[in-house]
C-alpha cells in the first residue's frame, strides 16, 4: 500500500536495500558501501520520477491511503484543541471537524474536512463528504471566530459534498451558496489549506479566504477527472486525459491566481514524512497570519473581494459588441489596402 502503480521502478531497489540492512543485522556483515550506492541510485530515480509526474499521478498521491488527514495535522501543528459540535439547526456532521486551538501563541478557530483513516472511521466521517449541516456548522463556527476576532484556519480535503437524497432534502446547494456569500464578510484572517482532494462545491463551500495554500500533490477542481471523463467520453477510462484538461494541479492554479502559495511535500508525498510536512505547514500558517494581521478589517475584506473578482475571464455584451466592431474595422482596412 506504500507504493502507487507508477512507483514500481523503485520497489525492487528499496526492497533490496531493506533485505541487505536486515541481513547486516542478523549475520553481522558489512554492506554499508552497497547500501549507500543503492540509496543514491533510488534517490536519483525518485527525484526524476517526481519531477515529471502527470496530473493524474499527482491525483493518486492526493488520494494515497496513508496520506496525512486533517486530524493528523491538527495533532501535529496545534495545541489545546477543543472540538465544537453542531449547526444548531439539525445536528452535527462528523465529516467536518471544528474547534478552538492555538498555533504558537496565536489562538485560532479550526474548520477541517476529515475523511477518516480506517473503515469504521471512514463510515463515521462519511468519507469526508459533508451534509448541509456540516457547512452550516462550519459557518456558525466561523462567525463565532469573527465575533471574537480569531483567525480561521481551514483544512480542505474532500472529493465533494455528499450527493445523496438526504443532503438534497436538507438544502445542500443552498448551504454551500450561503457559505460562499457569508465567508466574504468575515472580518478576520481566513486561511484555507488544500491538503489532499479539493473537489467541486464541497471544497469551495469552505474555500473562501485571504490566502489559499495548497500542498504540492493536492488537487483543486470543479469536478473529479473520473466524473469529467464519464460526462465527456461516457467512460471513466479517459480520466488521465481529463486531469490534464482540468488544470487541477498546483502549477496551473498558481498561474491562474486561484491559489496563493504552494507547499512543497517531502519526496514521494506528504505520507513519507508527515512530521516534516506539518512543520513546513506550521511555518507557512504563522507567516500568513503575521502578514494578514497587518491589514485593517476594511483592507482585508477589500483584498479578499478583489482576489475572487479577478479569478476567471468573462465578456459582457458591450465587450462582445466592441470586439465585433474592431473585427469589422480590421476587415475594412484590409479591403482598402487591397483596393489601393
The C-alpha cell 489545546 sits at 80
Instruction: Note whether 114 and 203 are same-domain residues.
Output: yes
Residue 327 lies in a domain: no
Distance CA 253, CA 158 (A): 18
Residue 234 lies in a domain: yes
339 domain residue, yes or no: no
Do 44 and 149 have their domain in common? no
Q: Is residue 222 part of a domain?
A: yes
* pTM for the whole structure: 0.85
Is the same domain home to 180 and 265?
yes
* 58-75 confidence digits (pLDDT tens): 999 999 999 999 999 999
Q: Looking at the predicted structure, is the pLDDT value of residue 126 above 90?
A: yes
Neighbours of 187 (CB within 10 A): 14
Q: How confident is the model at residue 1 (pLDDT cuts 50, 70, 90)?
A: very low
Asked if residue 14 and residue 82 are part of one domain, the reply reads no
Look at residue 317 and tell me if it is in a domain: no
Mean pLDDT of 77-87: 95
Asked if residue 297 and residue 179 are part of one domain, the reply reads yes
**End residue of a domain, out of 30, 52, 74:** 52
- Residue 330 main-chain phi, psi, to 5 deg: -65, -40
Q: Count up the domains in the chain and report the number.
A: 2
Residue 285 forms part of a structural domain: yes
In a domain, 331, yes or no: no
Instruction: Enumerate the H helices of the chain as residue ranges.
Output: 8-26, 32-51, 55-62, 70-77, 119-124, 132-147, 165-169, 172-183, 200-204, 225-233, 239-246, 250-256, 274-292, 297-309, 317-339
**Residues 281-317: pLDDT tens digits?**
999 999 999 999 999 999 999 999 999 988 877 667 7
Q: Is the pLDDT of residue 243 over 50?
A: yes
Q: Evaluate whether residue 109 is within a structural domain.
A: yes
Backbone angles phi, psi at 122, to 5 degrees: -60, -40
Domain that holds residue 48: 5-52
135 with 234, same domain: the answer is yes
Please indicate, yes or no, whether residues 69 and 200 belong to a single structural domain of this protein: yes
pLDDT score of 21 more than 70: yes
Q: Is 224 exposed, middle or buried (CB count within 10 Å of its CB: 0-12, 13-18, 19+)?
A: buried
DSSP-derived pairing of the beta strands 152-158 and 106-113: parallel
Q: Is residue 105 domain-shared with residue 47, that is, in the same domain?
A: no
Do 117 and 238 fall within a single domain? yes
Task: Give 153-188 pLDDT, tens digit per residue.
Answer: 999 999 999 999 999 999 999 999 999 999 999 999
Verify that 33 and 134 share a domain, yes or no.
Answer: no
Alpha-carbon distance 86 to 238, whole Å? Answer: 40
The answer to whether residues 48 and 179 belong to one domain is: no
Same domain, 40 and 166: no
- Read off the CATH number of the domain in which 162 is found: 3.90.226.10
What integer best gives the mean pLDDT of the chain? 88
Q: Does position 336 have pLDDT exceeding 60, yes or no?
A: no
Amino acid at each position: 500500500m506504500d507504493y502507487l502503480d507508477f512507483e514500481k521502478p523503485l520497489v525492487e531497489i528499496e526492497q533490496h536495500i531493506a533485505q541487505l540492512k536486515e541481513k547486516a543485522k542478523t549475520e553481522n556483515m558489512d554492506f554499508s558501501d552497497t547500501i549507500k550506492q543503492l540509496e543514491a541510485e533510488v534517490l536519483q530515480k525518485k527525484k526524476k520520477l517526481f519531477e515529471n509526474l502527470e496530473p493524474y499521478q499527482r491525483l493518486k498521491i492526493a488520494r494515497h491511503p496513508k496520506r496525512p488527514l486533517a486530524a493528523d495535522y491538527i495533532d501535529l501543528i496545534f495545541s489545546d484543541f477543543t472540538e465544537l459540535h453542531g449547526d444548531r439547526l439539525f445536528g452535527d456532521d462528523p465529516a467536518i471537524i471544528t474547534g478552538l486551538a492555538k498555533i504558537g501563541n496565536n489562538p485560532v478557530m479550526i474548520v477541517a474536512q476529515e475523511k477518516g483513516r480506517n473503515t469504521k472511521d471512514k463510515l463515521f466521517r462519511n468519507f469526508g463528504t459533508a451534509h448541509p449541516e456540516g457547512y452550516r456548522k462550519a459557518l456558525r463556527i466561523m462567525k463565532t471566530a469573527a465575533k471574537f476576532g480569531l483567525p480561521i484556519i481551514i483544512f480542505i480535503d474532500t472529493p465533494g459534498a455528499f450527493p445523496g437524497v438526504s443532503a438534497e432534502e436538507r438544502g445542500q446547494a443552498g448551504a454551500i451558496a450561503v457559505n460562499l456569500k457569508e465567508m466574504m464578510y468575515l472580518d478576520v484572517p481566513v486561511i484555507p489549506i488544500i491538503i489532499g482532494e479539493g473537489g467541486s462545491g464541497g471544497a469551495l463551500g469552505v474555500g473562501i479566504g485571504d490566502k489559499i495554500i495548497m500542498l504540492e500533490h493536492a488537487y483543486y477542481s470543479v469536478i473529479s477527472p473520473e466524473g469529467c471523463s464519464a460526462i465527456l467520453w461516457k467512460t471513466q477510462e479517459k480520466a488521465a486525459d481529463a486531469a490534464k484538461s482540468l488544470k487541477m494541479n498546483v502549477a496551473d492554479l498558481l498561474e491562474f491566481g486561484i491559489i496563493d502559495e504552494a507547499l512543497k511535500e517531502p519526496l514521494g508525498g506528504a505520507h513519507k514524512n508527515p512530521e516534516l510536512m506539518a512543520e513546513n505547514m506550521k511555518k507557512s500558517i504563522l507567516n500568513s497570519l503575521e502578514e494578514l494581521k497587518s491589514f485593517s478589517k476594511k483592507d482585508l475584506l477589500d483584498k479578499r473581494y478583489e482576489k475572487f473578482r479577478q479569478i476567471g475571464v468573462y465578456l459582457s455584451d458591450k465587450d462582445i459588441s466592441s470586439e465585433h466592431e474592431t473585427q469589422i474595422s480590421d476587415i475594412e482596412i484590409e479591403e482598402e489596402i487591397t483596393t489601393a
